[in-house]
Structure 1
Amino acid sequence: MALSFSEHEERARAHGILASVAFLIIVPLGVLIPRYLRTFSNRWWWAHWLINLLVAAPLIFAGWAMAKSANNISQLSENHHSPVYCAISVWRGHPFRSHPVPLHPPSATPNYLHAGLGLLILALAGYQTHDGLYHQWEYATDNVHPVKRSLKNAWLALLLVIEPETKLSHAD
């Protein structure tokens, strides 16, 4: 039996799928793949940049657009994802981003700040995905279509498998 979703619910689902894939799969890959490449190549920065800018960023923007569209349809004015958007805005304009060809010898402090902000974004994304799965979907849809347990399990699996590995990759 196929479930029938309203236009608002379809856009909210699209938002959740796009943002979850971007923040819980693509962005961590944008950290882990370059971290691995760094062991044998000095071109690791390009992998980090390409994955995050050309793959994750469009998904994040599309997820944001779906959320805005869903809110417009339902006339909900609440934005429960402010922490993630604030962190991304800070990252977007931060002056300590890494550059592929440094003009001067690299400093450890900007690298640690960059890594710390990236980890903050990943942690907030995990939290916001939990909030969407366990609270916001029910609020926005009056719990007509409860979130499947398999989606909640997938969220937990991604956090347990990918996120701890991401945190460990910046420790050395």
Structure 2
Amino acid sequence: MSSLPLNPLESKARIHAHIAFFGYLVALPLGIFIPRYLRTFTSSWFWPHAIMNFLVTGPLIFTAFALGYQTTNTSGLPHFNDPHQKVGLALLIMYLLQVFLGAFIHWIKLPFRFPGGRHPQNYLHVLLGLSIVALASWQTHYGLWTEWALITGNAHPVNWRCKHFWLAIVVVMWSLYFIGLVLLPRQFKQEAASRRAKAAGSKDDVALI
């Protein structure tokens, strides 16, 4: 049967998988890498970060969720009744929270700071973003290894090249993030200098936070 064309359910499920994969494991990490790498070299990192995570990633995530919902409708199975569907809803909610939190951090500055000068919501933003990507890594793995067979009947099993591609993307993505952490000392030094300049009323202050 694997030589037959995909049926409508399989086609919709495959499109959902492709869009969700590139939304959560390509576009969203790129949005994370922008501040991770650029903020140590320029203060003009916020809008590229916001555009990538909202205007590029957002439509991919919303489209993937809608297609997943439609796929479940087509399958005749109940909604949000298995781990993949539940985690898909959780990821959408977490993404929306992350977007609102990012806007809050940018436009509303709370007076409280941790030692070192950073606001608590900054750390929450980082942790939530990494949690989304980590959960999405698991989610896409579950989709490839388990959910596809469950929803479609596995007449056309997932090609192992797709699974190898998933592994390659996950390894490269997390490697790039941890390599970027090497720049943290430089970032913290620049942020401290920026705060000192701001406290001194300097017109040359550069907002890096």
Fold-level similarity (TM above 0.5): yes
CA RMSD of aligned residues (A): 2.4
Q: Could you say which residue in structure 1 is the equivalent of 2:46?
A: 45
Q: Could you say which residue in structure 1 is the equivalent of 2:90?
A: 86
The answer to whether the Cα contact below 8 Å between 1:119 and 1:167 also exists between their aligned partners in 2 is no
| 1:86-123 CA-partner distances (Å, limit 9, x unpaired) | 24424524674354455456733211111001000000
* Structure 2 unaligned residues grouped into runs of 5+: 185-209
1:137 matched to 2:148? The reply is yes
Distance 1:54 1:3, change over 3 A: farther
1:35 & 1:170 partners in 2: Cα distance? 7
2:123 & 2:109 partners in 1: Cα distance? 18
Tell me which structure has the larger Cα radius of gyration.
2
* Structure 1 unaligned residues grouped into runs of 5+: none
Q: TM-score, normalised by structure 2?
A: 0.73
Distance 1:113 1:84, change over 3 A: farther
Q: Could you say which residue in structure 2 is the equivalent of 1:30?
A: 31
The answer to whether the Cα contact below 8 Å between 1:87 and 1:120 also exists between their aligned partners in 2 is no
Stretches of 4+ aligned residues off by more than 6 angstroms: none
| 1:53-83 CA-partner distances (Å, limit 9, x unpaired) | 0001101111111111111111111432323
1:74 matched to 2:75? The reply is yes
Which residue identity lines up with residue 31 of structure 2 in the other structure? G
- How many residue pairs are counted as aligned between the two chains? 172
Which residue identity lines up with residue 156 of structure 1 in the other structure? L
Deviates more, 1:105-114 or 1:95-104: 95-104
The answer to whether the Cα contact below 8 Å between 1:87 and 1:121 also exists between their aligned partners in 2 is yes
1:81 & 1:165 partners in 2: Cα distance? 29
Alignment identity in percent? 35
